[in-house]
Amino acid sequence: MGEVSGNAAISRDPASLVIGATAAQIIGGLVPQMSPFVVAGLIDGLSLPERDAGFIASVELLSLATAAILIAPFLSRFSYKRASLFAIIVTLSAQGASIFVAGWSGLLLLRGLAGTGEGVLYAISLSIVASHSQNPEKIFGYFQLVWAIGSIALFSIGGEVTAAFAHRGIFTLLAATSLAFTPLLLLVPNVRAVRDGNTIVAINNRMLGVLLLAAIVLYVAVSAGLFAFSGPLGERVGLDTSAVGYVLTASTLVGLVGAGTATVLNVRWGRATPITGFCVGYILVVLALCLWPDPWAYRIAVIASAVLYYFSLPYLFGLAAALDSSGRWAAAAGAANLLGFAAGPVFAGVVIGASGYASLAAVSSAMIAAAWVLAMYVIGRGYNGRSLRERVPESTA
């Protein structure tokens, strides 16, 4: 099986590319990150039942993922900057209007429209890095660092404004945050994705790309499912809601270690070794959370899960970036991440309801193992039947 090796310290990327791509990533991924507050705000502000509030949130997430998937093959036809500016206009318009609309049907339409703009920005952020960065894993690591740091402030503010102003408060926060990052989209390069003209490579990578997307969905679904049920899992070991909240806050802070490690380590040890490491680590986390009823085991496992999650995404997105030079698969990988995020709580709830947490441990471990097998196959098959070793640039630093 072809091991991917290489050095991480590759030539520097322009600061404008890094900043512009990061701004598109934040605006595009803001709603999935803040979805618990959106649901809570809709329930409190519009007196919606949990089902209807969750449906509105799901529509936005689904439109976000769908837009990212559909735009990915066509990004080479558009200027990144122009597409970003068009998408932010759509996003801000829908977010701003959502603050003042009180009707369920109108809000459903607006959140779906907002998700479309956000999905385009999310896809662009990944495609820019994949098609024009000299060091994609490193910038994907920066993305996770920004999310880990920014989430601390966003969660604190989001809780306060949602408690005070319900759905209007959280929608105002989403719109204000998006608006604050909008000027940075002007730094997005005014170029198109690089076309991949090799037809044989494109056909081969279509199969590898689909397999990689399946691996990402499986892996992220397990992570999202465990996160969604972190409260009940904590209660099983004797922790109250307040204590679980402290553990989750600590996990976000310590999660910086995972993002920082991915940024520094990059592909010095190739891609297969880090991917194997975080898959094995996550299986251990699953087993500890579901089968070891000990409060300290729970605390350590939750914190470890955050570190592994922030560490893993740069490598999964980086592997997608290595499949072609146009950034299509990297953009689609972002959509797969969102789909896994949305499917995780449903999958975990069904398994727990049917046969309990022991079955969740078994099924989740099998899903992680399957994700590892698929990722290793992609690495082994490589680029047009060759090892992805040949796609890793040599260090210039």
Grouping H, G, I as helix, E, B as strand and the rest as coil, residue 270 is: coil
Q: Kindly tell me if the per-residue pLDDT of 259 is higher than 90.
A: no
Grouping H, G, I as helix, E, B as strand and the rest as coil, residue 248 is: helix
**392 DSSP 8-state letter:** S
Nearest to 24 by CA among 111, 136, 117: 117
Task: Identify the CATH number of the domain defined by range 199-391.
Answer: 1.20.1250.20
Torsion of CA 23, 333, 34, 345, to 10 degrees: -170
Q: Kindly tell me if the per-residue pLDDT of 12 is higher than 80.
A: no
pLDDT tens-digit series, residues 74-91:
887 888 999 999 999 999
pLDDT tens-digit series, residues 102-124:
788 889 899 999 999 999 999 99
Q: Where along the chain do the CATH 1.20.1250.20 domains lie?
A: 15-187, 199-391
pLDDT tens-digit series, residues 297-342:
999 999 999 899 888 888 898 888 888 766 778 878 888 888 887 7
Q: How far apart are CA 380 and CA 392, in angstroms?
A: 14
C-alpha atoms less than 13 angstroms from C-alpha of 197 in its C-beta half-sphere:
0
pLDDT bin (cut points 50, 70, 90) of residue 1 is very low
Q: How far apart are CA 97 and CA 108, in angstroms?
A: 12
Tell me, what's the pLDDT at 174?
95
Grouping H, G, I as helix, E, B as strand and the rest as coil, residue 103 is: coil
pTM of the model: 0.77
Of 3.90.1150.10, 2.30.40.10, 3.40.50.970, 1.20.1250.20, the CATH number of 15-187 is 1.20.1250.20
Average pLDDT of the chain? 82
pLDDT tens-digit series, residues 19-69:
999 999 999 989 887 877 787 788 788 887 766 777 787 788 888 888 988
